[in-house]
Structure 1
């Protein structure tokens, strides 16, 4: 039996529309999160935090304080782990029980070897402290313990215990203060109506695999498993076989930027779906969900993107933290910019190979930078003299 082929132009349009970059504008920040499935959180703030930029690039009137409102007041989202720390729609919380259980077993085995001696003995102590005295931050636990000097991962035993309690679902993030997590007992954070919902492992695997495919548009079983990073590859492969057998999915060959085909799963109606893309210029987060899988971005869009944090400055092709710039269905460049006081300083823009920066495209880029400056709380945009570089 022949397998239908999705050409590259159509595949890009389908994929980007599923990632909130289509013509239909979302009504709210919560709509963006629900459509994407989750938004990765990151502390880097050269111009705006990554999660805020993800939301703003899709919902232009978004403001950064809205995220904490959804988490702390509305309880519309919860914070936990996918491939990284993320905010996730609250209705998916029951399916994270599987993640809690798997993380608890895995972290206990690993951290007993890698983390400070005594963290296991502090788990009950920290849990009792939160139960008796209320919400806390990592700075409120283990005050008499020696703090490490090795950065984020050099934790004292009580900090490690607190992280274990969060990852295992016994405590939850109640709110953020700045970028600090404030933890409380899960029963005080997650609404009773959500915690009472049942979700066994089989139901979770089925629900999360279906939800991943819907949000990706097309995917291999490995990509389905990686989307939430809750389901294993083996579970995703078994689910894929069942979905093909019962008609919930079809096999589809998708053309990459180089014309090579990749066998994927998709919904039966994927070839009939509209996927209009606006031609507007967008500045995306380096952690944008459409690009976070770097190998997929290179295969589908021909866009090779790496954050050059650990590359010596003299050897960097670009700045260590540059923002992808998108127009329609393709990357048109990457930009090095940062907030300095109340000024958005544009240091450099490198067009992608084959992208001509004519007057119209340049005007659209400048307009988007002005909009970005307002979002980032900057009064003006200042361009370096040599900011417009030659193409890649």
Structure 2
């Protein structure tokens, strides 16, 4: 039997549409509109790197150019339309999905506890009751507020004092929730004081959560392997996702297909039959240039992005000189349904200047005057997001 095949152009168009990148980035970028963006994406990765703006702000700005950094906090801390927990990494997640995260919290608790006995300092388990009692009696706290008598260290992010480890563990386990942040510092409170009752008290069976996680991952991916489905939320095991896919193949709600990569190679995948009927109706991505976060949900699966867009997607650039000993991130640049290059830029908060250090176009991408104008407009929008009043271009910033 001949399997249906998605041409590369159709696969890219479907993929971008499911990730909120096929329409123009218009909308208010705040309130209910912003909450809907988060719902549609499912989650937005949170990252501490602030070279230009933090990852979550850049992800949301790429879909709503009117979005500004203060718009997110009310969604999480006032409206409680989203909560912060873990997918493949720390993320802001639509609040309606909280009941499904109960299973992740239960599953990961013992695994993390065992791992952290080897990775962290000794004694964090003995701090659980003290940390919970302090928060119950005195309200939200951060890692600086606990373990006052414990030795702090500058040995790295993994060298937490025991009470900080206890805070993080109790958050991952679900006893505590992140109630707000100051700067980038997390503040924790008892989960029952953070999560709205209708979500806090709701429960799902594990089987229902597996079904929801796989269905909703397929909704957001368009086409996927069982491993890609499992990896999307990181709520199910690969074996559970594989079984779910096998059952859906039997009942016909999923079918096998072939997806053409940018280099012409073919990847076996799964798709809903109804999705094939929508391919001709999908909108073309706008020609507008967007500066993307390296942690954008459309790009975090590096292998999938490389197959679809046909480039060697390296966001880390390592330089042997001491001042950049550990490397640094560059930002993907998208135009329409193509990734056209990577850009190295940095904001100086004191001078309010965003400096463009280098732009490397991808192979076969020509920097025409029209494209350069679109790129400059994108940089201006990013500078506004980052609260930079001016843009400075380094000498010979345009490479290739």
Aligned to 1:386: 396
Aligned to 1:11: 11
User: Secondary structure of the equivalent of 1:44?
Assistant: coil
Q: Distance in 2 between matches of 1:9 and 1:78?
A: 35
Which runs of 5 or more residues in structure 2 are unaligned? 28-32
Aligned to 2:307: 299
For residue 255 of structure 2, the aligned residue among 247, 250, 262 is: 250
Cα deviations by residue, 1:121-161 (Å, 9 ceiling, x for unpaired): 11111111111111110111111111122121101111111
CA contact (8 A) 2:39 2:94 kept: yes
Aligned to 1:95: 100
The answer on 1:329 being equivalent to 2:337 is yes
Q: Distance in 2 between matches of 1:26 and 1:206?
A: 33
Q: In the TM superposition, what is the alpha-carbon distance from 1:24 to its structure 2 partner? A: 5.5
The answer on 1:52 being equivalent to 2:64 is no
The answer on 1:346 being equivalent to 2:356 is yes
User: Secondary structure of the equivalent of 1:265?
Assistant: strand
Q: Distance in 2 between matches of 1:307 and 1:257?
A: 19
Aligned to 1:275: 282
Q: Distance in 2 between matches of 1:199 and 1:129?
A: 31
Aligned to 2:196: 191
Alignment of 1:203-214 (within 5 A): 203-214=208-219
Q: Distance in 2 between matches of 1:348 and 1:183?
A: 40
CA contact (8 A) 1:172 1:185 kept: yes
Cα deviations by residue, 1:238-292 (Å, 9 ceiling, x for unpaired): 0101122222222111111111111111121222223221111111001111111
The answer on 1:134 being equivalent to 2:139 is yes
CA contact (8 A) 1:297 1:304 kept: no
Q: Distance in 1 between matches of 2:26 and 2:94?
A: 15
Q: Distance in 1 between matches of 2:317 and 2:374?
A: 29
Q: Distance in 1 between matches of 2:314 and 2:205?
A: 38
Which runs of 5 or more residues in structure 1 are unaligned? none
The answer on 1:355 being equivalent to 2:373 is no
User: Secondary structure of the equivalent of 1:269?
Assistant: helix
CA contact (8 A) 1:323 1:335 kept: yes
Aligned to 1:149: 154
> Which deviates the most, 77-86 or 139-148?
139-148
CA contact (8 A) 2:356 2:391 kept: yes
Q: In the TM superposition, what is the alpha-carbon distance from 1:113 to its structure 2 partner? A: 2.8
Q: Distance in 1 between matches of 2:399 and 2:160?
A: 43
CA contact (8 A) 2:59 2:292 kept: yes
What is the TM-score when the length of structure 2 is the normalising length? 0.94
Q: In the TM superposition, what is the alpha-carbon distance from 1:372 to its structure 2 partner? A: 1.4
Q: Distance in 2 between matches of 1:320 and 1:162?
A: 29
CA contact (8 A) 1:47 1:339 kept: yes
Aligned to 1:312: 320
User: Secondary structure of the equivalent of 1:345?
Assistant: strand
For residue 234 of structure 2, the aligned residue among 220, 226, 229 is: 229
Q: Distance in 2 between matches of 1:115 and 1:179?
A: 22
**Pair 1:327–1:221, CA change in 2 (3 A):** same
Q: How many residues align?
A: 387
> Which deviates the most, 9-18 or 243-252?
243-252
CA contact (8 A) 1:131 1:185 kept: yes
Aligned to 1:220: 225
Q: Distance in 2 between matches of 1:385 and 1:303?
A: 26
CA contact (8 A) 1:344 1:380 kept: yes
The answer on 1:373 being equivalent to 2:383 is yes
What is the TM-score when the length of structure 1 is the normalising length? 0.96
Cα deviations by residue, 1:60-113 (Å, 9 ceiling, x for unpaired): 111111221111001000000001000000000000011101111101111223
Q: CA RMSD in A?
A: 1.5
User: Secondary structure of the equivalent of 2:219?
Assistant: helix
Q: In the TM superposition, what is the alpha-carbon distance from 1:370 to its structure 2 partner? A: 1.3
**Pair 1:293–1:362, CA change in 2 (3 A):** same
**Pair 1:24–1:364, CA change in 2 (3 A):** closer
Aligned to 2:245: 240
Q: In the TM superposition, what is the alpha-carbon distance from 1:25 to its structure 2 partner? A: 4.6
